[in-house]
Amino acid sequence: MPELPSAFFPPTSPASYTRTDFGSSFQWGVAAAAYQTEGAWNVGGKGPSIWDDFVHRRPRSVRGRATADVACDFYHRWPDDLDLLRALGIPNFRFSVAWSRILPQGVGAASKAGLDFYDRLVDGCLERGITPWPTLYHWDLPLALQQRGGWTNRSVVGWFTDYAQLVAARLGDRVRHWMVLNEPMVFTGAGHLLGLHAPGRRNLGAFLAAVHYAALAQADGGRALRACLPAAAQIGTTFSCSYLTPARPGLPRDEAATRRADALLNRLFVEPTLGLGYPVHDAPFLARLERYHQPGDEARLPFAFDFWGVQNYTREVVRFAPYVPLVWARLVGAASRRVPYTAMGWEVYPESLYHMLRQFAAYPDAPPLLVTENGAAFPDAMPQAGQLPDPARQAFLQACVGQVLRARREGIPVEGYFTWSFTDNFEWAEGYEPRFGLVHVDYATQQRTVKDSGRWYQQLLAGVPVGHAQAVGVAC
Ligand code: GCO
């Protein structure tokens, strides 16, 4: 067995642990998303989404001119993939519902085939003893709604809540755990300010409008679900976050830049749900969000979620930047070039997860936390004879899960951990090159091969102690 890279293990990560250390009610799972895995982009009456449009109309925006027209073909292969989940002993599966598969025009008549697909997927999970955790919006807005302004049109809030209720009415008798939005900071920022993701806009006004309407949709979406789901339903939403540290600690300009970046990247969508409003105090340009407010909005932004999904991959180092307007800050990467990086160019920094759990848990009214995404892309070899050693990913997960245990031991209410991702999949503007999966996908044949990191997870879930030094390699 290849040795696990020791550079990945901060001294604060326990050297080994077992599933029992987390308690019997801790939720273990894997996460995935519709556009990244399903394929079948125009099958079964599905309408196009902004991502279908983005990859086809602006192919150079995606590495390798890749599309997710087929992706992992999960739409057709889900029974086999769920069988594999069960074989690995993974009890919870987070996936997303593609809005335009259910409502090809975003609003109006629902597609029977689309609703049936998710109905079968939920039943397929339950039949195998796997708990389904759907997310309602993982970035694939129906194109028909984009043509009406998408997230920059205030009507999107009502379009979204109608869609949420439609899904809840169909699946709510069997699905107990729900997530409203996936990482609103990313789809508003990368999609409307940076132009890196669909719908490819680079416009401050569009970004601010999208932020405010997404924050309203987040809370109204929660209320819409609450209104039509059984009382036992758990309603959450997810937030992207990175632990931020100043490039030059102690230098007031960098410290202030770090606070502004924190307000924007980590707090923007969290604090409105608690009734704290937007973090304008630390990022004054956010006062411009008021332009999009209407009377009554203040009261609509809070919603008492049953849990928050914390999604963390790395930390960021922040430096004062006099030429970056509004936020006057930029992310500069770790000072030392000798620290390890993932294939996404993200610093390997497992303690980031612990720090973000602490930061979120520190809000007086914070609900319980679940890590709904965490993982890493590293270059993988091709599988040989059904095996694929991926010591870097395994080490990263070992260290990050250790940081979750560290948080729990300090009394931070973190109640679950979902790895991103079950299989390799379409990584947005990065195409298929970064591979995050516990399971390798050969895109030419759709063959799945469990990586050593997947076997490591299987062992952990089977109750076997896992540690820095432990070798893995049990067949499933
Ligand atoms: C996100 C998304 C996922 C990504 C993952 C790796 O966090 O960006 O939820 O869709 O694929 O995070 O970048």
DSSP string covering 186-204, please? HHHIIIIIS-SSTT----H
**Which pLDDT score is estimated for 1?**
56
| Torsional sign, CA 343, 314, 435, 53 | negative
Q: Is the CB of 407 under 6 A from ligand 1?
A: no
Pocket test for ligand 1, best of 74, 311, 397 (most atoms within 8 A of CB): 311
Q: Is the CB of 30 under 6 A from ligand 1?
A: no
Residues 6+ apart with CB under 8 A from 39: 68, 69, 70, 71, 72, 73, 74, 75, 76
The per-residue pLDDT for range 405-435, each reduced to its tens digit, is 999 999 999 999 999 999 999 999 999 999 9
Q: Is the CB of 33 under 6 A from ligand 1?
A: yes
Distance, in Å, from the CA atom of 39 to the CA atom of 37, rounded to the nearest integer, reads: 6
- Count the alpha carbons within 13 Å of 379 in the hemisphere toward its beta carbon: 3
Pocket test for ligand 1, best of 51, 133, 420, 424 (most atoms within 8 A of CB): 420
Residue nearest to atom 11 of ligand 1 (CA): 427
Residue owning tokens 């809840």: 168
Per-residue pLDDT at 324 exceeds 90:
yes
Averaged pLDDT, 109-117: 98
Averaged pLDDT, 328-337: 84
Q: Is the CB of 182 under 6 A from ligand 1?
A: yes
Q: Is the CB of 140 under 6 A from ligand 1?
A: no
Q: Is the CB of 186 under 6 A from ligand 1?
A: yes
What are the residue ranges of helices labelled H in 386-445? 391-409
Contact at 8 Å (CB) between 146 and 106? no
**Which pLDDT score is estimated for 473?**
41
Per-residue pLDDT at 472 exceeds 60:
no
Active site residues: 183, 373
- Count the alpha carbons within 13 Å of 60 in the hemisphere toward its beta carbon: 0
**Which pLDDT score is estimated for 468?**
80
**Which pLDDT score is estimated for 339?**
87
**Which pLDDT score is estimated for 462?**
98
Q: What mean pLDDT is reported for the chain?
A: 96
Pocket test for ligand 1, best of 183, 373, 393 (most atoms within 8 A of CB): 373
Q: What is the pTM for the complete model shown?
A: 0.97
* Distance from residue 186's CA to the centre of ligand 1 (Å): 9
Per-residue pLDDT at 202 exceeds 50:
yes
* Distance from residue 32's CA to the centre of ligand 1 (Å): 9
The per-residue pLDDT for range 131-152, each reduced to its tens digit, is 999 999 999 999 999 999 999 9
Residues 6+ apart with CB under 8 A from 231: none
Residue owning tokens 């590293």: 378
Residue nearest to atom 5 of ligand 1 (CA): 420
- The pLDDT-based confidence of 2 (bands split at 50, 70, 90) is low
Residue 266: both structure tokens together: 């980590």
Question: What percent of the chain is modeled with pLDDT above 70?
Answer: 97
Q: Which of 305, 394, 314 lies closest to 354, judged by CA?
A: 314
Averaged pLDDT, 3-8: 78
* Distance from residue 436's CA to the centre of ligand 1 (Å): 9
Beta bridge partners, 236, equal 179, 307
Atom of ligand 1 at shortest range from CA of 436: 6
The per-residue pLDDT for range 176-185, each reduced to its tens digit, is 999 999 999 9
CA distances from 429 to 197, 200, 341, 392 (A): 7, 11, 19, 23
SS3 279: coil
CA distances from 169 to 11, 93, 165, 226, 434 (A): 48, 20, 6, 11, 36
CA angle 106/67/431 to nearest 5° reads 120
